[in-house]
Structure formats: structure tokens, C-alpha cells
Amino acid sequence: MTANLLDFDLEGLAAFCEGLGEKRFRATQLFRWIHQRGARDFDQMTDLAKSLREKLKTSARLQDLPVLSQHESADGTIKWLFDVGNGDAVEAVFIPEDDRGTLCVSSQAGCAVGCRFCSTGHQGFSRNLGTGEIVAQLWFAEHFLRRHLNTAERVISNVVMMGMGEPLQNYSALVPALKVMLDDHGYGLSRRRVTVSTSGVVPMMDRLGQDCPVALAVSLHAPNDALRDNLVPLNRKYPLAELLDACNRYLQHAPRDFITFEYCMLDGVNDLPEHARQLVDLVRTHAGTGVSCKLNLIPFNPFPQSGLTRSPNSQVTAFAKILSDAGIVTTVRKTRGDDIDAACGQLAGDVKDRTRVDQRIARQRTVILKQVPAAPAAAKETGPS
């Protein structure tokens, strides 16, 4: 069986080349050909010795992901559906902006967390992606976009691990993929411009801070445990106090001096003024010092199975004002690509569920979210830390 070279970070590729009797600098050359130039044919790699190219033809391959479909939004967002075999398909999304190009990458075929407001979670979970399958999304998108835009310059400046799946539940494949993205001989992305999003897998947050600290986004979505237990089932294992403790530990290693908290705005569920005041109290007073953070409010992108609706703009604005007036940096995410189902929470791909998701979701929906009581708001808001 030949080795897929997209599975290797530079250290792994060096070990592979040593196994072929080659020196380390050959791995660096090969790594550049693959990631910086997008080469897939070993005969293109003209500064490699012919003897090495012949070895590679019999021992290695570049296994990309077949593209099942491509859709382009009116706002320039592009979504690809990639075939990962055995009936599973995953999605990646490119979001162009004036000052950056962001690629949203999937880490799993489906997701086992089962958040109420996420279309991916309603599909269930099939399997983890391999490192090569994660990297292949970036490899394809970067070099496709260069051809598409007729440029030799790098197009993708930011990567967010916010596609299908919970990245920290696929840790062993995630970290080598991140190292490829960060390596100067690969894509040369800044640690500040690579973001891992998590619903709160506390032990893996601690490991990531030690092994490969990049920007971190935490899917918060509720200011108290009673509500978050229902919206983000993982909260029952790692409740808010443990999660925020992990955030503070991560900040000791993070490339940014804040954690981004993602908060999906659900009409009548988590968007009331008392929820905003609880949120202020939570991030300002936790463990006596609070958590250095930015709040990113996300308009919910409805889908029928959720039973949820988007908060009105006026409610989002009022919620944001309470946070901002308390001195918390708050942004409202602009919805991109919703006309092609490429917006936040809409990525669904095609997954052979192995987790009986229908039964789990049905049990969750027996709880009427709008009747979940808010925890008592703080009597007095604290000032900026």
C-alpha cells in the first residue's frame, strides 16, 4: 500500500523520506512542491533527484478528495462537497472578504455532539477524517482558487476548523493537519489566523494548548448550565465552570489574548435581556477574575428539524448592546453563503449515521426550550476587567 503524502506534516514526511534512504532536505523540497505549488505528479518535481522520483512513484501517492459538487453564492462564497468514501461526504466553504480569504474546513463525517441548532448534528456521526482528508480540503481549495482567480499569490489567509464535526474529538488527525497549515514550507499561516472551534472538550483543549496552540473559538450558546445542557449536550460532561477554567488555562499558551465565544441567537430561547446579563456576569466574574473574551453573536440559520427560529434583528441588537455596554467586545456575524446552505450551522454533507441520531434528537425535543428557566441574573453587573 502506498503512502498518501497529504497525511504527513513535515516531521512525518522527513521520517518517510528517511525510510526511503533520503536525507531530510528532500522532505522539505517535496513538502514545498505539494503544498506551495500544488503539484500532484512526481515528474513535475524537477529539483528532486530522478532516483527519488522513481521511488515515490512506487511508494507514495497524493490522494485528494473527489469533488461531488461546487456551489457559488451571490456574495462570492464557494461551497464544495467532497466524497470521503463509503457513502460519506463532507463540505468545505471559502469565504472571500476584502482583507482576507477564509476556508472553513471539516474534521469529521457528521458530528456526535448533537447540538440542537446545528444541521450537521442532526445528521449524526459516521467517522473521523484522516489528516490527509483534512489537509486535502485546503490543498484543493487553495490551488483551485489560484487557477480560478488567475493569481500566483496565496488566496487563503485564514482557516477555521468550523466545518462538519467536533475537531477536538479527532485530535490525533487534527494536530498534524494544523502543523501543515502553520509550516512555513507548507501554507505558512499565522497561529492567529488558524482557529479551532470546539463545543468544549476540556481535556483536549488542555492538550491543544500544549501541543499546537492556535486561536480558539468555544461554542458557548448559553449563559447557564440548565440551558446549555439542552442546547449543547456535551455540557453535561463538561459544565460551564470546567469549560471556563479550561479557557483560562488555554490563554496561557494562546496566540491571542482572548477566547472567542460563539453564541447562536435563538428566538425566545437564549436571546432575552436576562440571558445577556447572565452572560456578562459569567465571563466577568468566573473564578474571581473572569475570562478574557470576545463574544461573536451568530444569527441562527433555520432548518426544519430543529424546531427553532432566528432571533429578530432588534433582539440581537439589544442583546449586543447589553454586552457592549458592560465593556465586552461583541460582534454580530454577517451571514454569508446562506443561499447555498453554506452559512454557519448549515453544513450537512451526506453521512451514514452510526449513532441513532433520530432517537437522540427526539428525546431532546421533548424538552420545550422556551420553558427552560433562566438562572437568576446578577444583582449588579461588574465593570470592565
DSSP letter string, 43-66: GG-TTS-HHHHHHHHHHEE-----
C-alpha distance from residue 305 to each of 172, 293, 348, 355 (Å): 32, 32, 13, 17
Closest Cα partner for 268 from 324, 220, 309?
Answer: 309
In this prediction, residue 368 carries a pLDDT of 39
Angle between helix 273-285 and 313-325 (nearest 10): 30
In this prediction, residue 385 carries a pLDDT of 31
Kindly report the CA angle at 169 between 202 and 6, in degrees rounded to 5? 130
In this prediction, residue 363 carries a pLDDT of 54
Domain positions in the chain: 3-61, 67-371
Per the listing, cell 492567529 goes with 192
Decide: 108 and 165 in contact? Cβ < 8 Å: yes
Decide: 144 and 165 in contact? Cβ < 8 Å: no
Active site residue: 17, 247, 293, 344, which one?
344
- Secondary-structure class of domain 67-371 per CATH: alpha beta
Which three cell numbers, joined as nine digits, stand for 190? 499565522
Q: What CATH number matches the domain at 3-61, 3.90.470.10, 1.20.1560.10, 1.10.10.10, 1.10.150.530?
A: 1.10.150.530
CA distance 345 to 304: 13
Active site residue: 22, 91, 133, 166, which one?
91
CA distance 120 to 228: 18
- Residue 91 annotated among the catalytic residues of the structure: yes
One-letter amino acid for residue 348 of the chain: A
Spell out a b/e string for 188-210, using b for 16 or more CB atoms within 10 Å of the CB, else e. Answer: ebebebbbbbbbbbbebbeebbe
Beta bridge partners of 330: 295
Closest Cα partner for 30 from 65, 62, 1, 2?
Answer: 62
**H runs (alpha helix) in the chain:** 10-19, 24-35, 50-59, 131-149, 171-182, 202-211, 225-231, 240-251, 273-285, 313-325, 357-364
C-alpha distance from residue 243 to each of 44, 192, 289, 329 (Å): 48, 21, 15, 20
Beta bridge partners of 297: 263, 332
Burial class (CB in 10 A: 0-12, 13-18, 19+), 152: exposed
CA distance 150 to 133: 26
In this prediction, residue 90 carries a pLDDT of 95
pLDDT in tens, 8-61: 999 999 999 999 999 999 999 999 999 999 999 999 999 999 999 999 999 999
| pTM as predicted | 0.89
Q: Which residues of the chain have pLDDT under 50?
A: 342-347, 368-385
